[in-house]
Structure 1
Amino acid sequence: MSGAPHPSPRQLALVSIPALIVGVLSGLLLAGIDMVSEGLEHVLWDGLPSALGVEEPAGWWTLIVLSGIGLLVGLAVWKVPGHGGHDSATVELFAPVLRISALPGVALVLILGLAGGVSLGPESPIIAIDVALTVWLLGRIAPNIGQQGAFMLAAAGMLGAMFGTPVAAALLMTELVAAAKRGGLLWDRLFAPLIAAGAATITMQLLHAQSFKLDLPEYTTPHLIDLVTASVVALIAAVFGMAASITMPPLHALFRRLNHPVAYATAGGVVLGLLGWVGGPLTLFKGAAQTGDLISHLDSYGTWQLLGLALVKTAALVVAAAAGFRGGRIFPAVFIGAAAGLFGHALMPSMPLALAVAAGVLGAVLAIGRNGWLALFMAAVFGGSMASLSVLTIALLPVWLLVARAPEMLVGHGEIEQMDERDASYLDPAESAGSEVEPAEE
């Protein structure tokens, strides 16, 4: 057992001050990005159509908007310093730290994607922005925390802000802490990140910026048959995730044959516009509000319509990730899982609705994100009770056996597009905690 010294209560108390600061700033950063993107969203989808006399809904308007967003994202990836940051097809939630000069470009392409209806969430880019700002800030006001400590505070804070509770951050941080292998008590090392996550969560709650609006009956009474039905639904949803994981790398390579970010992002925008035209408004955007809308208006959708929504959203997620748009995969995975869960419920009406949705979210998030803690947590949000947690824990096992050796939804290192060293190099990739992804080859 390691002989690493335990931090004193005074040391833990001192580190809580920058942790609180980072948490509040994480919440404000996410709220600010949301506010700007939602303002632009209203302009693109309400203001302009109204001014031009476009009737709602108009599928061709979806095609025009997403094609235009693809063109703008391509131009930004091509010309803006930093080239939009990490290619989202090549990184998971945590990636090497970007230079400060790259952050405006990352924010720009993120906002364009969120406002334009691209089927990606904010996770990876917003964490990258938060991490870079935190490393820069704490390097000046609390240098003793170090770059790895600053990385963990920022990542935990943003996870708390995005998912509405510090528990998600605590679960994910355990993996980063375990990976560090530096000894000491686990909760000593989780102390500051958990404070950052809690502060970010409270900040977002005070700003009334919750991510998911749910209208599900609470699941309170488990039955033996629920273990079977939850596992079946989770496996159905996992198939969508595995399909996304298998098809994204070759599609990424196909888009890159266009040899220019303006060309492949615009082409991706056109395809996304066509998918949005077919799937309708629910299949656009990151998927958080749309998940709530789908559940609230469940009676408006037939069994095969629910399956169609899951299929279109899966295709949109794959195209968005492959075509150079910047964003995360967890929020769209939640929508895919919810739609798959509702499809399973339509096939098995006796299955509790909340459990069906939770099991679907479990399967899709696990297959796409490959993180058991995050999948279980996101599913438990929809289950809404401790009773659901026990069933979901069992349902997770067959899904993990299915996806554990399947391809991940990531592009291999050799396929990562080159980035300009002057604009998008990393502060210190060797010290970037929590990422196994190497920086782009120069």
Structure 2
Amino acid sequence: MPADAPVGDPQAALRADPFGPLRSRGYLMLLALTALFGVVISAGAYGFLQAVEEIEKAVYTSLPKALGFDGAPFWWPLPLLALAGLLVAATVQYLPGNGGHQPAEGFKAQGTVSAAELPGVLLAALASLTLGAVVGPEAPLIALGGGIALYGFRLIKPEADASSQALVAAAGSFAAISALLGSPLIGAFLLMEVSGLGGPMLGIVLVPGLLASGIGSLVFTGLGTWAGVGKGTLIIPNLPPADRPDLAQFGYALLIGVAAGFVGTGIRRLGLFLQPGVNRRRLVWTPVCGLVVAGLAIAYAEGSGKDASDVLFSGESALPGLLLHSGAYSAGVLTLLIACKGLAYGVSLSAFRGGPVFPALYIGAAGGIALSHLPGLPFVTGAAMGMGALAVALLRLPMTAVLLATLLLGKSGVTVMPLVIVAVVVCHVVVARISPPPVKAAAPAATAAPA
């Protein structure tokens, strides 16, 4: 250790020799373990996502036919979402861990889920995602990936220090979210922005995570090929090429950024407004929230002639269809879709368990396509800007929002990336301006003894 590095100060030692940990034998062993966990967690993430898809098909497609209906009747979402509310409320009420992350609060750095909390996170997520709540699978996957990796690591090396445990847990979360998003790059940016790490420490944490997610992505893709399902990527194929950006599209980027800032803030405030009341009486208000979401889906289906599934669920599997068949949606239908899914999204954020990413992408894409009915805005360009802007409004992660909106659109996304950046930056600033500042803790009384 250099003479000027204070004894017992690991951050100072890291600044003095940023690559020191990379040369240590213990770090190499951690890399080997994180590679192993990357395989296990990516296989688990694949199984989780496939289970969500199969249960969703069973309850919304196969079950109505088994009961003698030609298809799901218009009222079908009502009992399923009421049941989802009861299951989520009971899980949150009676199992440890609060059912996991509350999505209305957005992504933020939190402690790793303990082994005792894993069943509650899994059950609440499955009930929310499969029965129609408007939340995504990303937050539960991050929690489950980190918790399972930490539990396995403690079994293998119970004497490991807290830093090593945190490193392995972060790699597990990294592998799980990268398996979902189809790219270790997007997962890296998401977790970097959430954690706020920088400097030498970022590299120490990033290397195991990249290794776990890279190997895990290969496993995820291989499982999809072997099983004949899943693509291992979220890139939407067969989109028309995007036009090169021009001055008119730059003006639309400013408009979309401002509009998404107000829409996204409204959705998040709705979730935060309802959340305290739901938390006080979960067994009553969570099923009621489910019925509200179902009612909004039914209203959209009856008013548009489209399927209620456009409003229900995260939108992850429906987003390619929306983009590839955008001509089948009029501006009026898209406006109704944005209103109904936006309200259902805000209500779901307050009561159910899941993540905020994919509903934001879907609603943003619908908004961009709606604006493309105006002259001078191609629908792919509008969808890309809408996805990026609404994603940053809900996530507050600008780099992640840009990557999500551009990489998911393949070559077209790369072409319109400058416009997406403008829309994201404008929306990020608008959200910061119109959102209330965080509430500061009350100052201690003058007579209190100093800590």
Shorter chain as denominator, the TM-score bin is 0.7 to 0.9
**Residue pair 1:165, 1:201 contacting (<8 A) in 2 also:** yes
Partner of 2:444: none
Partner of 1:39: 54
Question: Relative to structure 1, is the Cα distance of residues 402 and 275 closer, same or farther in structure 2, using a 3 angstrom cutoff?
Answer: same
Shift of 1:111: 0.9
- Among candidates 158, 175, 182, match of residue 164 of structure 1: 182
Pick which of 89-98 and 282-291 moved more.
89-98
1:3 maps to a residue whose letter is A
Partner of 1:146: 164
Question: Relative to structure 1, is the Cα distance of residues 92 and 23 closer, same or farther in structure 2, using a 3 angstrom cutoff?
Answer: same
2:362 maps to a residue whose letter is F
Q: Distance in 2 between the 1:219 and 1:76 partners?
A: 46
Identity of aligned residues (%): 25
**Residue pair 1:363, 1:399 contacting (<8 A) in 2 also:** yes
Partner of 1:98: 113
**Residue pair 1:231, 1:359 contacting (<8 A) in 2 also:** no
Q: Distance in 2 between the 1:300 and 1:57 partners?
A: 22
Partner of 1:273: 294
User: Which deviations, in whole Å up to 9, do the C-alpha atoms of 1:358-401 show, x marking residues without a partner?
Assistant: 10001110001100011111111244333222232233222222
Shift of 1:42: 2.1
Partner of 2:89: 74
Q: Distance in 2 between the 1:88 and 1:19 partners?
A: 28
Partner of 2:215: 199
Shift of 1:30: 1.4
Q: Which runs of 5+ in 2 are unaligned?
A: 1-11, 225-229, 301-307, 442-451
- Among candidates 305, 316, 321, match of residue 344 of structure 2: 316
Pick which of 53-62 and 270-279 moved more.
53-62
1:162 maps to a residue whose letter is L
Partner of 2:435: 407
Shift of 1:94: 4.1
- Among candidates 62, 65, 72, match of residue 80 of structure 2: 65
**Residue pair 2:53, 2:130 contacting (<8 A) in 1 also:** yes
**Residue pair 1:212, 1:289 contacting (<8 A) in 2 also:** no
Query: Looking at CA atoms only, which structure, 1 or 2, has the larger radius of gyration?
Result: 2
What SS does the aligned partner of 1:327 have? coil
**Residue pair 1:234, 1:341 contacting (<8 A) in 2 also:** no
Q: Distance in 1 between the 2:246 and 2:357 partners?
A: 29
User: Which deviations, in whole Å up to 9, do the C-alpha atoms of 1:177-197 show, x marking residues without a partner?
Assistant: 7x446x537545422211122
**Residue pair 1:282, 1:290 contacting (<8 A) in 2 also:** yes
1:8-407 maps to which residues of 2 (within 5 A)?
A: 8=22, 11=25, 13-90=28-105, 92=107, 94-141=109-156, 143=160, 146-175=164-193, 179-180=196-197, 183-184=199-200, 186-208=202-224, 209=230, 210=232, 212=234, 214=236, 215-219=238-242, 221-256=244-279, 259-279=280-300, 280-323=308-351, 325-348=352-375, 350-385=376-411, 386-407=414-435
**Residue pair 1:249, 1:411 contacting (<8 A) in 2 also:** no
Q: Distance in 2 between the 1:321 and 1:342 partners?
A: 24
Q: Distance in 1 between the 2:372 and 2:186 partners?
A: 27
Shift of 1:87: 3.2
Shift of 1:45: 0.8
What SS does the aligned partner of 1:130 have? helix
Shift of 1:124: 1.5
Q: Distance in 2 between the 1:230 and 1:98 partners?
A: 39
What SS does the aligned partner of 2:416 have? helix
Q: Which runs of 5+ in 1 are unaligned?
A: 415-442
1:371 maps to a residue whose letter is L
**Residue pair 2:107, 2:194 contacting (<8 A) in 1 also:** no
**Residue pair 1:236, 1:340 contacting (<8 A) in 2 also:** no
Q: Distance in 1 between the 2:61 and 2:192 partners?
A: 43
Q: Distance in 1 between the 2:239 and 2:257 partners?
A: 18
What SS does the aligned partner of 1:319 have? helix
User: Which deviations, in whole Å up to 9, do the C-alpha atoms of 1:157-183 show, x marking residues without a partner?
Assistant: 122111110111222344367x446x5
**Residue pair 1:342, 1:357 contacting (<8 A) in 2 also:** yes
Q: Distance in 2 between the 1:268 and 1:316 partners?
A: 9
Question: Relative to structure 1, is the Cα distance of residues 411 and 136 closer, same or farther in structure 2, using a 3 angstrom cutoff?
Answer: farther
Shift of 1:299: 1.9
The Cα RMSD (Å) is 2.7
Pick which of 156-165 and 378-387 moved more.
378-387
**Residue pair 1:216, 1:353 contacting (<8 A) in 2 also:** no
Higher relative contact order (CA 8 A, sep 6+): 1
**Residue pair 1:90, 1:412 contacting (<8 A) in 2 also:** no
Shift of 1:43: 2.1
Q: Distance in 1 between the 2:251 and 2:63 partners?
A: 49
Question: Relative to structure 1, is the Cα distance of residues 84 and 172 closer, same or farther in structure 2, using a 3 angstrom cutoff?
Answer: closer
**Residue pair 1:119, 1:320 contacting (<8 A) in 2 also:** yes
Shift of 1:24: 1.8
**Residue pair 1:59, 1:276 contacting (<8 A) in 2 also:** no
